[in-house]
A and B are shown apart, each in its own frame.
Chain A
Amino acid sequence: MMTTTVYVPRDTTALSLGADAVASRLERAARQRSLDLRIVRNGSRGLSWLEPLVEVETTKGRVAYGPVEPEDVEALIEAGLFEGRQDHPLALGLTEEIPYLRNQQRLTFSRIGVTDPLSLEDYTTLRGFEGLKKALACDAQGIVDEVKSSGLRGRGGAAFPTAIKWQTVHDQPEGQKYIVCNADEGDSGTFADRLIMECDPYLLIEGMAIAGLAVGATQGYVYLRSEYPNAHAIFGEAISRARTAGYLGDDMLASGKDFHLEVRLGAGAYICGEETSLLESLEGKRGLVRAKPPLPAIEGLFGRPTVVNNVLSLAAIPYILDHGGQAYADYGMGKSRGTLALQLAGNVARGGLVELAFGVTLRELMENFGGGTQSGRPLKAVQVGGPLGAYLPESQWDSPIDYEGFAAFGGVVGHGGVVMFDDSVDMGDQARFAMEFCSVESCGKCTPCRIGAVRGVEVIDRIRAGERAEENLVLLADLCDTMVDGSLCAMGGMTPFPVQSVMKHFPDDLIRPRAEGGR
């Protein structure tokens, strides 16, 4: 009897929408029909609005159905799901032909959703660990040079050239050095790090091992936020399997080189996404920001030279080593080379992960990929780059997304989160929330951030209550300047960005007194 293969994703989004129940109903239905069914719990393809996205292997390729709720399973089977028939309203045709997926340039995310995230065989079949093998065949400087030629810049938000960090650590005298992966993905609207860790965990492991070889570090830590229990479970298991198979640990792949890797959990502090605060936390302290210099590349974790890179920067490395830095640099525009993982979130009809070369415009992204708002109402504002990013009005949706272009109008690409809001949003609420969030998450070390955020909420409340609004607006503008200029790190230094953007582009929402019981 022929085996039928069905894929049901196991990433957080699919699970949050009932993927486990879908899988067990499929299993039960197959048993009742005496069908030989193999269910693969793959990662997500990143088409979040279609989750749970169920796929069936056919002679023509994998066909998709979604979003599949547990209650849909029986009807889908009646309509020929196990045979790959496409008669049901949830049928989507060949997965690879879904325009949202077909129109992307997936270099880093080429495997997500395709494979069983924990299968080493799946990973190596699709060129997994080829980058590591090439790195093992070069000397350390050769690896750094390859990354240099790719033009890769830090994907966490600061956009600092990755190879310069690596070169600095490489050039430090031999001794204990560390690779630290920043997986404290706290920006609302971002989930790309999570997708890597849940859907293609060996990619991050490979990237970190290569980084270790490049700078002479034998120990790596992944600092993962505690809000990601599923990523923790999957990634922890992946480390253990990679170690058993000889891709990690002493004498990896019989090369004579060592690289050890461990996951450390954060504990619910947004500030620990800031690299020096993260290092303090890893050392077991309060996550207070450190003054720079010294740079972490010279005095980082436990005072030793440390590479601190975002998940997405490290996940880009295996492709760069495997295909060459130039192949990566061939994508992109200006000084922003390669691809960017954009994450469409918030009030969007088709939310999910969109990996594209730099240069696409926000409007193309939000309309062609996102399909407009989920509510069907007009789009009013979009926040790019997390809670510290400005709210962009329609006049700014046509500039191509790249680091310099966005910086030119005060925008932030950040970690690539794109949060869409329809016209029911009260931008005054959003400005207030930016300050409130900072007051909750400030580490407290510097005054502009610690006190400024609290005063910011108060001043905005007075403005919105109509209390000497004009005078208080001047005060708010002054407070924002103080925070931008006087804060120790980006938390206090950028919290004013969303507030200032509301003052500039949506002043009516801020000044208009709040209607009783209204939005």
Chain B
Amino acid sequence: MPHASPQTDGAWTPAQIQDVIDAHKSMPGAMLPTLHAIQDRFGHIPEAAIPIIAESLRHTRADVHGIISFYHHFRTQLPGRSVVQVCRAEACQARGCRQLESHVKAVLGVDYHHTTSDGEITLEPVYCLGNCACGPTIRVNDEIHGRMTAAKFDRLAEELTATVVEVR
């Protein structure tokens, strides 16, 4: 299946959040595993879930907010159906990622940290995907794509949108 990733409509209930927390809270250093699990399941960490997390893990709300906002990976808003990350780091720069990122932004019509108006794709920067001999590299959900070109990206973007039409 292309570009596989758990798609979610982001819907959640406090009881579901509590279930996820309870499955992780006995781990030493439970905060990051818990936040990951919530985001993996609901696509984001809803602001309204922060008090529940804080209460269960015995932190203040401010602490939990501070932790979520510290890490680039965590998000409190539901992203588009696909998250596209463009590697901006040096090894990809040496292989033309600056031109690629301009192209990607132009094609999608959004800047980093934004979602296309149709809600399909959220664009994010990333600093290294460990594919440094075969860049430029982008990540689409959990798939890595190397030797990316403008033409290859256009096909990919089309596929991402086409998949959605099929599903509906």
A residues touching B (Cβ–Cβ < 8 Å)? Answer: 12-13, 15-17, 48-49, 51, 185-191, 193-194, 226-231, 264-270, 281-287, 302, 343-348, 351-352, 374, 383, 387, 417, 419-422, 425, 429-430, 433, 437, 440-441, 443
Q: Please report the C-alpha to C-alpha distance between residue A282 and residue B102 in the assembled complex, in whole angstroms.
A: 36
Residues of A within 8 A of B131 (CB): 12-13, 16, 191
Q: Which residues of A contact B114 (CB under 8 A)?
A: none
Q: Is A229 in contact with B142, judged by CB distance below 8 angstroms?
A: yes
- A80 CB, min distance to chain B CBs, angstroms: 27
**B61 at interface by CB-CB < 8 Å:** no
Which 3 A/B pairs are nearest by Cβ-Cβ distance? A351-B133, A284-B31, A346-B94
What sequence of 0s and 1s flags, for each residue 115-140 of chain B, a beta carbon within 8 Å of any chain A beta carbon?
00000000000111111111101010
**Residues 112-168 of B at the A interface (beta carbon under 8 Å):** 126-135, 137, 139, 142-147
- Report the separation of the CA atoms of residues A230 and B130 in the bound assembly, to the nearest whole angstrom: 11
Which listed residue, A51, A352, A387, touches B90 by the CB 8 Å rule? A387
Alpha-carbon separation in the docked complex, A194 to B32 (Å): 21
B122 CB → nearest A CB, Å: 14
Among B29, B73, B98, B126, contact of A283 (Cβ-Cβ < 8 Å):
B29
Say how far B58's CB is from chain A's closest CB, in angstroms.
11
29 contacts across the A-B interface (CB closer than 8 A):
A12-B131, A13-B131, A16-B146, A186-B128, A188-B90, A188-B127, A227-B130, A229-B142, A265-B33, A265-B36, A267-B36, A268-B71, A269-B71, A270-B127, A282-B29, A284-B30, A285-B31, A343-B132, A345-B91, A345-B132, A346-B94, A351-B134, A352-B133, A383-B90, A387-B127, A419-B94, A421-B94, A437-B89, A437-B127
Known: A346-B94, A351-B132, A351-B134. A269 touches B72 (CB 8 A): yes
Residue B95 is within 8 A (CB to CB) of chain A in the complex = yes
Task: Report the nearest A residue to B34, measured CB to CB.
Answer: A284
Residue contact B146 to A17, C-beta cutoff 8 Å: yes
Interface range on chain B (Cβ under 8 Å from partner): 35 or more
Q: State the CA gap A188–B130 with chains docked (Å).
A: 7
Are A189 and B90 interface neighbours, CB within 8 A? yes
CB distance from B101 to the nearest CB of A (A): 12
B127 & A346 in contact (Cβ 8 Å cutoff): no
Closest chain B residue to A374 by CB distance?
B95
- Complex Cα spacing A425 to B139, Å: 24
Contacts of B28 in A (CB 8 A): 302
Q: Is the Cβ of B33 less than 8 Å from the Cβ of A264? A: yes
Question: Please, how many angstroms separate the alpha-carbon atoms of A454 and B132 in the complex?
Answer: 27
User: Nearest chain-B residue to A352 (Cβ)?
Assistant: B133
CB under 8 Å from chain A, chain B span 14-73? 28-33, 35-36, 57, 66-67, 70-73
| Cβ–Cβ contact B133 & A430, under 8 A | no
